[in-house]
Every structure is written in C-alpha cells, then in structure tokens.
Structure 1
Amino acid sequence: MKRTIAIALVLILLLNTMGYYGVFLGLHYQNNLAMSTALNADVYDESNSITLKVAVSIPYMPDQTDFERVSGQFEHNGELYWMVKQKYAKDTLTVVCVKDTERKKIDLVLADYVKTFTDKTTDNKSSSKIAISFLKDYLPISFSIKSDTHGWASRVIHNVGQQNLIPTFAASIIHPPEQA
C-alpha cells in the first residue's frame, strides 16, 4: 500500500514538473508536421516569405529555369525560417524562406511557463542589480597570489656520477663444429 502511494506521488510530481513541457514538445512536433505538409503542398503565406539572393559562382552548374523544393530551417535574430524553394541562375542562388510565426508563439508561451518556476518577477530585475552592486562596494573581498618561483627561474639538478660500463659481449657468430 505504501509503495503504491509513493509511486503515485512520484508520478504526480513528474507530471507537475515535466507534464507541460511534454505538451510544448508535442506542440513543436505538431507545428513542424503542419509546416512541412503545407510547404510540400506549396501553400504558405506570401506576406511572411522573404527571398534571399546569394552570389555564388559554381563552375559547370547549369542555370535553372524553375524553382525546386528544398527543406531546411534556420534561425536569424530569434526568428525561425523555413526554406521553401531555391533556384540557381546567372551565378546567383535565390532561396525563398517563410517565417514560422506559430513556433515563435509556442516559444514565448514556453518562456512564460518557465518563468513561473522562479521566484523573481520581471519588475524586480533593476532593484536586484542595484542591491548587488551596492553590496559589492562595501563588502571586503580580498585575494592574493603567491608565487613558488621567482619569475621564469627554476632550479635544475644535474646528477653527475661515475659511470662504469661493464662490457658484456656475446659472440654474434656461432661457428659450426669442425668435421673430422
């Protein structure tokens, strides 16, 4: 009986701490699937799209007349972009990207959820920084560095002893016995 109650309490604790995070992971996964299917069907909002043109000289690469579908995503200045299509023509790579606004909303809600775990609110930031800097001025903190050597000097001890070499020579050529 005690064991079942302990397991139930641990499960409630795990659900409390990780449950909503699992929901956010599920929302990220669902958003990725929705964006992939929409971009594969070439259904996206043109107002959220941007076009990147990069000057690239690739020898022996023929010019493309139509765009081709590419997949990938990147983050720039806190915004997530999905690559939709690209075309290489006249030494210029043109990439069409779409901003993922739903991912930004999910990330903001997740950040707000994580902030609930801390005791500090957002309006206490300025007063806490002032208090810390005020305390640093009046609390004595001292440290010292002690050197074991004087500069780059280091003591080197040479062992000079008498070396006695004992010749131990073994014949390397063994002659065969003489025949009678």
Structure 2
Amino acid sequence: MKKLFAIALLGILLFNWGGYRLLTDYLEDRADLQLEAQLDQDNYDESSLISIKVPTNLPYYHNNINYERVDGSINIRGVEYKYVKRRIYNDSLELMCIPNMAKTGMQNARDDFFRLANDLVNNNSSKKSGNAHGHNVKFSVQDYTATPAISLNPAIQLVDVAANTAVVQHFKSIYLDCLERPPQA
C-alpha cells in the first residue's frame, strides 16, 4: 500500500513538473491538426475569415486575383489565428486567417493551470500572507555583482561605483583650449 501511495505521489509530482506541459502540447497539436484537416477539405465558414494585409516591396512579383491555400499560424493579442489562404495583389500580401479557438483555449487553460500549480494567484482577501512585513523582496546574483564599464574614448572614463551606477569624469586637459587650423597635408 505504501509503494502504491509513493508511486501516486511521484506521478503527481512529475505531472506538476512537466507532465501538464506535455499533455497540453499534445492536445494543442491535435486541435491544430483537426482544424488543418477541416481547412484542407474547405469545411469552414467564409464569414469567420479575417483579412490581414501586409505591404510588400518586392522587385518581381505576380499579381494573383485568386487565393492559394497556405499553412501557418500567427498569434495576435493572445488569440491564435491559422492561415487559410493568401495572395499577392497590388503591392501587398493578403492573408485570410481563421481564429483557432480550440488551441487558444488550450493555451489559456495551460497558463491558468501553471498559475494555480505554482501559487501565482494573488487572493489577498481569502488567504493571509506568511510574511509579517507585507512585502516581498527577491534577490538575484546581479544585485551582488558589479558590471565593469569600458570606455574606448580617452576623454571619458567610466567608473563603476556600484551595480547599475556609473560616474562620468571628463578630462579637459586632453582637449585643446584654443581653436587652430589643422596641419596641411
């Protein structure tokens, strides 16, 4: 019984570490393939297509009145769009896209699960913070290491006082005080 319980806990741990990532990637790919099969069979609603025009500057191109089938995808503001067809017409690339709501839903579910599994949800009203001071401070290696500054200009020397702080010192003696004509070549 203890072995079965230990195996179950190990399975839950491995799923939290990366199993949900593999599962959602598989489900996203499956939804993508199903939508692509529907698009190849022309089984989609023409009114749900979205047109994207991109200006092109090509030296040689051929104006196409008809669209051609193309595969690909683009993510705009968190919504995944699948390319359906394209054409080059009047100095612009016209793409007709359809929203892939199944894949977008899978990505949103994956992100929500990641937030819940890693306790990234901020519900201050329902749960008290373990920190009595009420503020979180995260330290990194960059806070304790100095970044050296190098200047190739001999008139300016950068002196790194602390991390992310630089003092600029100008050496006026390098510059000429009076204007002179350059020497003749």
Q: TM-score range by the shorter chain?
A: 0.5 to 0.7
Aligned AA (1:95): L
Q: Which residue of 1 aligns with 2:62?
A: 62
Between 112-121 and 85-94, the greater mean CA deviation after superposition: 112-121
- Which ranges of structure 1 fall in alignment gaps of 5 or more residues? 136-144, 154-180
Aligned AA (2:79): E
Could you say which structure has the larger radius of gyration? 1
CA distance in structure 1 between the aligned counterparts of 2:88 and 2:21, rounded to whole angstroms: 41
Taking structure 2 as the reference length, the TM-score comes to 0.57
Taking structure 1 as the reference length, the TM-score comes to 0.58
- Which ranges of structure 2 fall in alignment gaps of 5 or more residues? 138-160, 163-168, 172-185
Aligned AA (2:112): D
Q: Which residue of 1 aligns with 2:107?
A: 107
Q: Which residue of 1 aligns with 2:88?
A: 88
Structure with the higher helix share, 1 or 2: 1
Q: Does 1:50 align with 2:50?
A: yes
Instruction: Percent identity, please.
Output: 25
- Cα RMSD, aligned residues only: 3.6
Cα 1:112–1:56 change in 2 (3 A) is: closer
Cα offset, 1:98, TM superposition: 1.1
Cα offset, 1:69, TM superposition: 0.9
Q: Which residue of 2 aligns with 1:131?
A: 134
CA distance in structure 2 between the aligned counterparts of 1:88 and 1:32, rounded to whole angstroms: 26
Cα 1:5–1:53 change in 2 (3 A) is: closer
CA distance in structure 1 between the aligned counterparts of 2:32 and 2:38, rounded to whole angstroms: 10
Q: Following superposition of structure 1 onto structure 2, how do residues 1-180 of structure 1 map, counting pairs within 5 Å?
A: 8=7, 12-14=11-13, 16-17=15-16, 18-119=18-119, 121-124=121-124, 131-132=134-135, 145=161
Structure with the higher strand share, 1 or 2: 2
Aligned residues: 135
